[in-house]
Structure 1
């Protein structure tokens, strides 16, 4: 299970980091660094603690998924053996060979679907944890950049060569641990993966619109809109 959680953290689909520096800043940047925010999220105290909590809370689900996975793999192996046996014949029957290959493919797809359904509660809990971290990631990045006197931060994948001292991933982890030491693993009713990030982005857009010159002030709570 720990491998599943780590793999999930390293491929956080919901991780949303807004651009904080415009393109012309490349030419003006004095302090440049790199940071892998996916790794930072995976190393954070919030994620590692939540991972352990998820393992405990959903132990029955995880055990069931693992047991069922072994059974399904054995069934797939039987079909693979039949395909292999047919393919090794001096003159394989092409129709039988294609049928055997299709049986393997169909069984694998059905197995993946079944295992995904079994593990859905675990996946949703992980997504909720990732979502909570994603909402605060920009804040941690900005704090790390300030602490390290960096005004341009790059993704390591976009860099051809660098020295080790320009990587501030651990600084992001430190700030993330300070800002968000823990997260909840209790998924709210009706929650959808990425929902918190979407809500946060909407709040930022609404705030940006409200700050524009000429923007109408929001009506006080409980006040009906005026009509003509």
Structure 2
């Protein structure tokens, strides 16, 4: 959202700078009329694309969810006796070395199980990230369209801690939701093959650029040998 708020804030600063041209009450009224409050997390959560995707995901990825739940139950059954033995031995003042070995075994099983569960539900996480990115790609356009219709030149986001209080009449969150629903009625739930979230793509691009730059660097000139 940076590309929205920079020009919007700039417009607000220009308006504030021109305040001495008017009496204080008139200037304050004009500034207030051009102010809007938008909760961006609420916009995303209340958009049709997000809500429909949340409803479809448990159906589309039911196999993965069932597999993850079954594996979680297996891990719980496997770890239960180990936890019981550890607590019993701990109360019986078993040697610390034996307790440490049991704790290490439990931790190893837990960590391996968590990695396995994360791998099973990875398609769900990728789906959620894919939907989120589709919404984010059009969030700027939705905010700008709503601001234009409401004649707003300064937008504040309460989630950033900027707004302490704002009257309901300045809240254009629903207006932005309406614009986002118009721009993105629904989102694709399943990402295409090989798709990566934006952050991962940026990391890959940065690594590729760095590798290309290192490969293109000229070799150091040989130093003359002294006699």
TM-score by length of 2: 0.68
Task: Give the superposition deviation at 1:191.
Answer: 0.9
Aligned partner of 1:38 in structure 2 is 41
Residue-by-residue CA offset, 1:67-120 (whole Å, 9 max, x unaligned): 21222233233333233223323x342222222322232222212111111112
Q: How many angstroms apart in 2 are the aligned matches of 1:142 and 1:69?
A: 45
Contact 2:75 2:113 in 1 (8 A): yes
Counting helix residues as a fraction of each chain, which structure ranks higher? 2
5 Å-filtered alignment, 1:198-209, equals none
Contact 1:40 1:170 in 2 (8 A): yes
Aligned partner of 2:4 in structure 1 is 20
Aligned partner of 1:201 in structure 2 is none
Larger Rg: 2
Q: How many angstroms apart in 2 are the aligned matches of 1:41 and 1:124?
A: 17
Task: Give the superposition deviation at 1:160.
Answer: 5.7
Aligned partner of 2:130 in structure 1 is 128
Q: How many angstroms apart in 2 are the aligned matches of 1:78 and 1:25?
A: 65
Aligned partner of 2:113 in structure 1 is 111
Task: Give the superposition deviation at 1:140.
Answer: 1.0
SS at match of 1:21: helix
Task: Give the superposition deviation at 1:177.
Answer: 0.7
Contact 2:142 2:183 in 1 (8 A): yes
Quick one: which of 151, 170, 178 aligns to 2:182? 178
Contact 1:137 1:176 in 2 (8 A): yes
Task: Give the superposition deviation at 1:26.
Answer: 5.3
Q: How many angstroms apart in 2 are the aligned matches of 1:39 and 1:67?
A: 34
SS at match of 2:151: coil
User: Is residue 72 of structure 2 the alignment partner of residue 58 of structure 1?
Assistant: no
Task: Give the superposition deviation at 1:58.
Answer: 1.6
5 Å-filtered alignment, 1:60-209, equals 60-89=63-92, 91-157=93-159, 158-159=161-162, 161-163=164-166, 165=168, 166-194=170-198
Q: Aligned pair count?
A: 181
SS at match of 1:186: coil
Structure 1 unaligned segments of length 5 or more: list them: 1-16, 199-228
- CA RMSD in angstroms comes to 2.6
TM-score by length of 1: 0.68
Q: How many angstroms apart in 1 are the aligned matches of 2:75 and 2:12?
A: 52
SS at match of 2:4: coil
Contact 1:131 1:197 in 2 (8 A): no
Aligned partner of 2:223 in structure 1 is none
Question: Does the C-alpha gap of structure 1 residues 26 and 84 become closer, same or farther in structure 2, counting only changes over 3 Å?
Answer: farther
Contact 1:135 1:196 in 2 (8 A): no
